[in-house]
Amino acid sequence: MNDFIRIRPAARRRVPFARWAVSQNPKIRTVSQSEFGVPPVLFVDMPEDLLRGSLVDGRPYVSPLDQEEETEAAGPGAPELLGVATRGPDGFLEAVPGQPLPEVPAHIYGPDAVPLPADFAPLEDAPETYELSGVLVGETGPETYVPLGDTSGDTPGGALAQGGDTAGETPAVTSEDTPGDTGDTAGDTSGGTGRSFPCGACPRAFKSERGRDSHRRQVHGR
């Protein structure tokens, strides 16, 4: 396995590259007539100027210094872009700062093209219609945005709808005579009256469907 990075320095940088190579301990040696074998641990700390214009493992090395020079701002006296070049009857018209883009010729559009309204704005310029910190997104189906704090669907007094259940709010319906069933017996009845919701898994019966369902979950695990 080759543990070296093969670097072929640019012609004008071969001498300074060689001086740097022999100054290392141990010295960096050549692996071909024009390439040096540089250990990876030294490559990351090499002087950037030595790598400019070189080939690293057969690929041109792109130096951040070269990119900065390419994007350097124009100096004093350089031409200034003022607008869109438009051609008139006598040649190009003089650019005016802030002038709008020229109209696109009609033949450029497809046969089914629909013109945009005059007040159309790109999505990035559209106003915010809601705050992301104050909405919930539906887990399934189309996205539905619901403002946090909206209580329009709440029931008065915190009461649950018929058959509803909320963890931590539903009282346990239990009896001391059933193994594993301990706690409140508010949903249970005594005697032979009012047992309209039988458990089905044991002889117990309850006044409400909610009480029966709570009993099933806590005692029978269903």
Quick check: is 207 in a domain?
yes
Residue 85 lies in a domain: no
Residue 204: give the domain boundaries.
Answer: 169-222
- pLDDT for position 35: 92
Residue where one domain finishes, among candidates 51, 68, 85: 68
Per-residue pLDDT of the chain (222 residues; tens, 9 = 90+): 468 899 999 999 999 999 999 999 888 989 988 899 999 888 988 898 999 999 999 899 988 877 655 555 666 777 666 656 667 778 777 767 767 767 778 888 888 888 777 676 666 655 555 444 444 444 444 444 445 555 555 555 444 445 444 444 444 444 444 444 544 454 454 444 454 788 888 888 888 888 888 888 888 877
Produce one character per residue of 108-137: b if its CB has 16 or more CB atoms within 10 Å, e if not.
eeeeeeeeeeeeeeeeeeeeeeeeeeeeee
In a domain, 59, yes or no: yes
Is residue 44 situated within a structural domain?
yes
Number of domains in the chain: 2
pLDDT at 36: 93
Residue 31 lies in a domain: yes
Q: Domain boundary at 22, 43, 68, which?
A: 68
Rounded to two decimals, the pTM is 0.33
What is the structure's pLDDT at 104? Answer: 78
pLDDT at 111: 84
Domain membership of residue 103 (yes or no) is no
19 domain residue, yes or no:
yes
Last-in-domain residue among 34, 68, 102: 68
The token duo for 115 is 């013109």
Residue 15 lies in a domain: yes
